[in-house]
A and B are shown apart, each in its own frame.
Chain A
Amino acid sequence: MDLSKLKKRAAFPFETIAVAVSFSPRCLSVLVEAKYLSDILNATLILIHIGKKTAEKELYLDNLMSQVEMDESRYRVIWMEGDPVETILKLCKLNIVDLLIIGALETENVIKFYLGSIARTICRKAKCSVLLLINPLEHPKKYKRIVVNGVENKKTIHTIGATFYFAKCFKIKDVAIVNEINMPGLSMVIADDSTAPEAKEIKKNFNNEMEECIQSIIQKYDTTGINVSNKSVKGKPGYAISKYAKDRKSDLLIINSPDTHLNLLDRIFTHDIEYILAHLPCNLLIIHSRV
């Protein structure tokens, strides 16, 4: 495989989709959702199973795929043994996977969360986009609402671009771009130094600046047929958008991939994506923009 193809590869379209197969009770639903996505996005599907290849497992998978009703020519299966996280990530890299689909629990127990489950660890480390499905269905539901982050970051433009691509492919009309306002010291300054109109003005200016920034990104893409709204929410990054997505009953939350290598400390002093991973508000798509 030519790994140089990975460098600067655009965040979308998703040409190759991989799905982690664990033979769990929800395996069929995850495969159905993966097929649904690959059909609409016209992508090649790779099934990855980390574990020993046995005749029994092979038969079971064939049986599942016949239920999924997917033509054998449209997917391939990779069997490999090893550390699940590292092996899946390595295979994604080698096969130039654009999107990795994994089934995940909405909330994990405290110990598992801090130790790091497979799905969540992949989200933290992946070098491709990752879709976490919290409630995969055997009859996939059409996505209606998407919430995407509008945080000031060089990755955001690609994430918003990928969102519009996704929305167009799935004919999703409702996209909310959410900007989180969290400024340490701001409340103190307002309490200490500002009159009521000044405080209002400060907050208004922050909102306006953020809206202008998002507008300039939106203008770069064709959004015909999509109702794009631009929202500012107060609160800690990660938590605020997660709460917004949950309150709004969104089907999908789309965010940037993490900027730094995340470790246990980031889970103890939770921030950004860790708030979302601690309690998934809906399906989560993490866009890895490879910038």
Chain B
Amino acid sequence: MNIPSNLSFSKEHEWVRSEEDIAVIGITDYAQDQLGDIVYLDLPSIGTELTQAGKMGEIESVKAVSDLFAPLSGEVLEVNQAAIDAPETVNEQPYGDGWLIKIRLTDAAQLDALLSAEAYDELITREMEENTD
């Protein structure tokens, strides 16, 4: 499972790439693999104020509809319209063209509580082991 070392991760299987007070958010390779073929994205509109751990949208796959939770608080600056138009991009390039939103952080200190690539690797390894014991 691809877990880029330069990103931070949430326990809800989202990745964050931050630079100063701007952060790009997407879902992880593991998340897209678990969801299966993604068919629909419901993302927050530009200007929405997100609260960390609050619901920020929905992602629908052929299996199920799942809530998306904001890994960080902040204001939505950009939404990836190309991914909304072609949701398979999220399956194909979860860390690249399949990004979801870009936000301006309200509290940069929240970044410190996210998981490193190593910690996220441990989390999903544990989850996969629990599922196959």
Query: Do the two chains belong together in a single complex?
Result: no
The chain A residues found within 8 Å of chain B, CB to CB, are none
